[in-house]
Amino acid sequence: MNWTASAIALTVGAALCSSHAFALTQQQINQLGDTVDLSYHVLDNTQDEWRTFRGKITLNNTGQTELPASGWSIWFSHIRQIPTVYSDQFTISHINGDIFKLSPTSAFKGLAVGQSLDIVFDGSDWAVAKTDVMPNWYFASEHQGGQVTALIKSTSNSVAGSVPVKPDEELPFVADFTSAKQWKRYDSASLTDHYDPFTPAQRFERNAELTALVNPVGIVPAPNELVLGEGQVSLDDSWSVVYDAGYEVEAEYLAKQLGLNAVPWSPQTAKTIKVGWGQVLQDHKLRWREAYQLNVNAAQNHIQIHAVDAAGAFYAAQSLLQLVDNRIVPAVKISDAPRFDYRGFSIDTSRNFRSKDNILSLLDQMARFKLNTLHLRLADDEGWRIEIAALPELTDIGAKRCHDPDERTCLMPFLGAGPEGTPESDGFYTAADYREILAYAKARNITVIPEIDMPGHAHAAIKAMEARYHRLMAENKHAEAAEFLLSDPQDTTQYLSVQMFTDNAINVCLESSFNFADVVVKELVALHDGIQPLKTFHFGGDEIAGAWKNSPACADFFASNDKGITNADQLSQYFVERISAITAGYGLNLGGWEDGLMHGEVYPRSAMVNAEVTGNAWQNIWEWGVADRAYKLANNGFNVILNHATHLYFDHPYEPDPAERGYYWAPRFIDTRKTFGYMPDDVYGNADFTRAGVAISKAEVLASASDDAKKLVHPENVVGIQSSLWAETVRTESQYEGMVFPRLIAMAERAWHEAGWEADDRAGKATDVTYRDQDYNRFANLLGQRLFPMLEQDGIAFNLPVPGAKLEQGVLLANSPFPGLAIQYSTDQGASWQAYSSQNPPSVTGRVWLRTVSGERSSRIAKLH
């Protein structure tokens, strides 16, 4: 079924205006929420060859009164369209975005106490993981001119006030996936999904080549040169950190971390860590940005840091801190400089909000691993997260969710926020919060780039400005009301965005839309002023879904503009050029996602007046015919940041398992090893497997690339690498940290350090697989033995992988992707756990349960039969 805007409008109207046989009171609706249990079952993803799954919603009346025949509806978030319901007793209507409404029809006669019923439906695309299902479904009923709501308790993701990390615990109302037809997306003679959940034995084989190193010494990301010396230095309270002029801040930071004092340098000072200026020579060339040399001299009881700039001194401090173990530092000489100037991480704070404290903690870890750019996505369809003083509705309405179908007081409760919202769905950064984040980032050599996605992904902003419009119109302030309006009330264009919004594209034919953009950019510039001057504004620009075709405002614009624009297909480039002019007027560079800088072909760079325009190349390197976009942009004069979803989007699961968190629209899964293996100098060489698990080669990807982008003609335009976390399924702090770490560390390795095993397309160099595996063994050991304890001490809930295991003649053999990470096993279904030792593996009989642990946390459990 095709859902048109008019059909959706009728559905919403019916939801708000229909006359029920009777309405329920708040007490009655609360009782339904407490006593009607709801469960969700994915039945079959393989019933046809493409893009349909069958599911079942079960209602079970556990209360003392009948579920009435009418007067209620169930509202819920669902990431897939529901075109077919196999019941004459219920309808399921799409409202907007991922919000749906289940309503009884006249054929439904009520549900008696102790009875249950099934509502079978077909959904579009697939649902192959528990986290495809959103929590916090709720009852709603019209009552005395308004609506009363109650959370369906069985669908709540909150247990004793907190949300568990594991989907199995967080989403108990979602039935287990027990058969291949539930976790495969298709399975036919012509199209097969080759992925199944890993077994313990398969995990064991995936980890088999990893070997535990004894007391590994190293730094992550790996330095350009590291030479171990003889002996070690013992730091005690008699040591001090001394500094040359210009390096005071970095010296004081290092001294604080080590519990020492920082003092100006003098020849008489003994036992010193000296931080000062010095040249860094690498590959017979002087390095002038962020480079350093670190010399730990055991014979002289002295540590010397030479750095070309303050950033280099800061990174030398991070390297030294990784080497310290109980105040002991091995003798070592390091010469180091970054591979890329831009080493970034982008985080979606819009879908689910990350608090200021979350961001400050993230900045500490980014600094530890020498990342220097935080790309903050502050606005999307589901939320606006930055205070703009001139437009308070942006946060008054756009930063919270609740049950308000008109969206005049809040946004609808997208992504499972429930009728009253949650701590994760609501929130924004005040001006003071944001400036604190900027200052904290600056002290850690990290640049903050704000992103306000436009013209698409703008539902939150559009609804906030509509609320402003209605408020001012009611005050008879007509001109002021229209000043920042982002939508044409007469626009009848029917479209559906990727996230199923019907109204998320700012109307670029309205001059008020550019008034809005100008005010937002101006206020962001002011927020940065005096702390970290804003250099780049990121306008997003991605995933615009066929808007503006039937807009009277656009028809007027087509008839009267002097730009030669005659149809809606030309409007995207027009918008980018206008945003370019606005941002350049404030002296800013411009950033956008790759699809924001092209419409079929790349927009002419000369049409954009910013000194620099940068595109994040994100789409898959192996499918959809867009593998060549990174090279296209670079070859046409744009700066490019490699941000490919196949390796660098951390909203994907770690394993192809329905119990793992995350979506699977790019690759089926991304583990730390895959991110570690990403090769920036041979983008097409990263091709490995399709989403169906079919091997794909570089040659196959090249065959689909356009002739002008088969080769990177201007490598100097590839300025960096970035990973991203999109937060649709990531609600809590611990969930977010588990999705980011340790994959972010692997990405930092590639952004800072060019490994000798990497393929290089320009040099005709292929991947050295043997060397790569050896290098990953080093990296994995450093994580398992050195870095994970540091993260645990900092309170970072990094992901704990499920261990591999097998039995050989009654002896349990187990391993993990990170040698040194503790493994436990149980022979009594997890009632008690014992530490596993690879040096003394236990003899066991029957079933065995295994998990990895760190502190009080544990991984998902593997069952060995």
Q: In what order do the strands lie in the sheet with 240-243?
A: 225-234, 328-336, 292-297, 302-307, 272-277, 240-243, 261-264
Please tell me which residue in 248, 252, 436, 543 is annotated as part of the active site: 543
Torsion over CA: 42, 48, 52, 56 (sign):
negative
DSSP state letter for 159:
B
Alpha helices in 344-482 (DSSP H): 356-368, 393-396, 431-443, 459-474, 478-482
Please give the helix or strand (H or E) that residue 515 lies within, else none: helix 511-528
Torsion over CA: 243, 247, 250, 253 (sign):
positive
Q: For residue 383, give both structure tokens.
A: 């939320």
Distance CA(821)–CA(852), nearest Å, equals 7
Q: b/e map of 462-477 (b: 16 or more CB within 10 Å)? A: bbbbbbbbeebeeeee
Q: Is 543 a catalytic residue?
A: yes
Strands 373-380 and 447-454, how do they pair?
Answer: parallel
User: CB of 157 within 8 A of CB of 730?
Assistant: no
Q: For residue 142, give both structure tokens.
A: 């019209």
DSSP state letter for 259:
T
Distance CA(773)–CA(787), nearest Å, equals 20
Burial of 845 (0-12, 13-18, 19+ CB in 10 A): exposed
Torsion over CA: 466, 471, 477, 480 (sign):
negative
Distances (CA, A) of 376 to 54, 275, 348, 431, 591: 37, 32, 7, 15, 12
Distance CA(421)–CA(67), nearest Å, equals 25
Q: b/e map of 721-742 (b: 16 or more CB within 10 Å)? A: bbbbbbbbbbbbbbbbbbbbbb
DSSP string covering 237-253, please?
TT-EEEE-TT-HHHHHH
Distance CA(631)–CA(595), nearest Å, equals 13
Catalytic residues: 543
